[in-house]
Amino acid sequence: MILTGNHAAAHAFRQARVGVVSAYPITPQSPVVEKIAEFIAEGKLKARFVKVESEHSAMAVLCAASATGSRVGTATSAHGLELMYEMLPWASGNRLPIVLNLATRSLGAPWSVWTDHQDFITIRDVGWIQLFCENNQEIYDTNIQAFKIAEDPRVLLPVACAFDGYVLSHTAMPVKLEKQDMIDDFIPPLKHHINLSDISTVKGIDPVTTPQVVKRNEGVAPGYYEYRYSLQKALENSIDIIKEVHDDFARKFGRSYGNGIYKEIQTDDADTIIFGMGSVASQSRVAIEKLRIEGLKVGLVSLKLFRPYPAEELREFFKDKKNIIVFDRDIGYGYEGTLSYELKAALYGLKNRPNIKGFIVGLGGRDVKTEHIINGVHKALDEFEKDIYTNKTDFLGLNLEELEDYDEESYFKGG
């Protein structure tokens, strides 16, 4: 079928037999929930769609519905995600296998409906598994895998699948939808560990939990610290299961995405690697072709798994590489692009550290052009040669020269 990214996600929800969907419309994600509502109305999906009054309530509904024992999912973007933020650690702390689709969009102020990866990175510390997709087939495939990963009893964590807003969400591409019985075979029915709907066992979920372990005659109860330890260890160990599910999917359906953690393109003979995520990586595929024509041996690593951060895998991959140029479609304000500084931290342990330089591209939907990437590579290689190192961010694609006479003083006079 020819599907937009949004509709690919909706089809994945339908085939995964999601039980409860709760979402709120927001550009550019609204078509996901519109399509799901259509599926339910046509009887193609037997699910309850709770049409909530805000994203915060959407995630609250899903946390409660998941805890009661249903398979749940939703979609959102930018400010919707930020409004949900209070509930995100609630979902991971409860170990609820919720799947969230994120059509990435930049954050205000000022208002922007176009894509960048800022919203995606804001949730990196709440304890969710985070995956990024480069094309619509990957959106569908990743969603199917996401349910299986999330519900694996060795994992039990919420998963966020992201894809660029408009670039993928509204762009139609060929997507192969698999047969329903094969999907049913791949994703077994949910066996929820909390399952409040089984009222034969009385459970109090999420009470106030003290810092200490509590002991009394009736038993012992872990403290908050132990619960968070358990969450972190689950995240760390989930990398293996993410790889496992990816490989299972590849065996069953014949499609793979690198090793499930990252995709590497033409890196075997390359000592200079471009590192990016999503639309940035897609654009870089064109850039490395052009750079190779110039004679530079450049490869590309497109990061798919953002959390848990695959530090070991990346350290193993980059240990013999000389130069890495990172392009971030996001920025850790006050510091650098997150991909850039996280990679630097991951490779800290290497004996022979590669040169790493980060660039900022495409914030607020500013077009990421092949020439920007090529210019970035040239500039970086130049700086590496001259032994120049800086944390100060380099923005590619700015149009400051057109704003020579622009002055906002007349607006912001103060009083």
Partner 1 sequence: MKLDEQMTNSKKKYQKILGSVQKPVIGEAGQTGTWSPKKPVIDLTKCIPVKSGKPSCFNCWLYCPEAVVSRTIPPQIDFKYCKGCGICMEECPVKAIRMEEVKEE
Partner 2 sequence: MVNVIDLPEEEYIYPGTRACAGCAMALIYRIALKALGSNTIITVPASCLTVLHGMQGFCTTKISVYHTPFATTGASASGILAALEDKGLADEINVLAFAGDGGTTDIGVQALSGAVERGTNFIYACYDNEAYMNTGVQRSGSTPLGVQTTTTPEGKLVHKKNMPRILEAHGIPYVATANAAYPLDLYEKFKKAKEIKGSKYIHILSPCPPGWGYDPKYTMLIGRLANETGFWPLYEVIDGTFKLSNSSKRYLDSSKRKPITEYLKAQKRFNSIDKKTIEAYEKYIENAWIDIKSRLEKQ
Backbone angles phi, psi at 156, to 5 degrees: 50, 65
Nearer to partner 2, 36 or 61 (CB): 61
Backbone dihedral region for residue 25 (phi beyond 0: left; psi -120 to 50: alpha; all else: beta): beta
Which of 27, 68, 195, 230 is close enough to bind partner 1 by CB under 8 A? 230
Two structure tokens written together for 32: 């996901």
Q: What is the distance between the terminal CA atoms of the chain, rounded to a whole angstrom?
A: 59
Instruction: Work out whether 90 is an interface residue with partner 2 (CB under 8 A).
Output: yes
**Helix H or strand E encompassing 163:** strand 159-164
Instruction: Work out whether 194 is an interface residue with partner 1 (CB under 8 A).
Output: yes
Longest Cα–Cα distance in the chain: 76
Q: What angle do CA 409, 413, 415 make, to 5 degrees?
A: 165
Instruction: Work out whether 156 is an interface residue with partner 1 (CB under 8 A).
Output: yes
Instruction: Work out whether 123 is an interface residue with partner 2 (CB under 8 A).
Output: no
- Amino acid at position 308, single letter: P
Instruction: Pick the stretch among 127-135, 151-159, 297-305, 371-379 that binds partner 1 (CB under 8 A).
Output: 151-159
Instruction: Work out whether 111 is an interface residue with partner 1 (CB under 8 A).
Output: no
What are the Cα distances from residue 395, in Å, to 329, 330, 359, 376? 10, 11, 6, 9
Which of 222, 341, 350, 398 is close enough to bind partner 1 by CB under 8 A? 222
Contact positions with partner 2 (CB under 8 A) in 207-246: 207-210, 214, 216, 218-224
Q: Is 196 exposed, middle or buried (0-12, 13-18, 19+ CB in 10 A)?
A: middle
Partner from partner 1, partner 2, none contacting 156, C-beta within 5 to 8 A by type: partner 1
Instruction: Pick the stretch among 123-131, 136-144, 217-225, 358-366 that binds partner 1 (CB under 8 A).
Output: 217-225
Name the 3-class secondary structure at 103: strand
Instruction: Work out whether 190 is an interface residue with partner 1 (CB under 8 A).
Output: no
CB of 207 to partner 2, least distance (A): 6
Instruction: Work out whether 22 is an interface residue with partner 2 (CB under 8 A).
Output: yes
How many residues in the chain?
A: 415
Contact positions with partner 2 (CB under 8 A) in 43-82: 46-48, 50-54, 56-58, 60-70, 72
Two structure tokens written together for 86: 């209070």
Closest by CA to 284, choosing from 134, 173, 144, 74, is: 134
Q: Which residues of this protein are in contact with partner 1, per CB under 8 A?
A: 93-95, 153-154, 156, 193-194, 202-207, 209, 216, 218-219, 221-222, 224, 226-227, 229-230, 233-234, 237, 240, 244
Q: Which residues of this protein are in contact with partner 2, per CB under 8 A?
A: 19-20, 22, 46-48, 50-54, 56-58, 60-70, 72, 86-87, 90, 196-197, 199, 201-210, 214, 216, 218-224
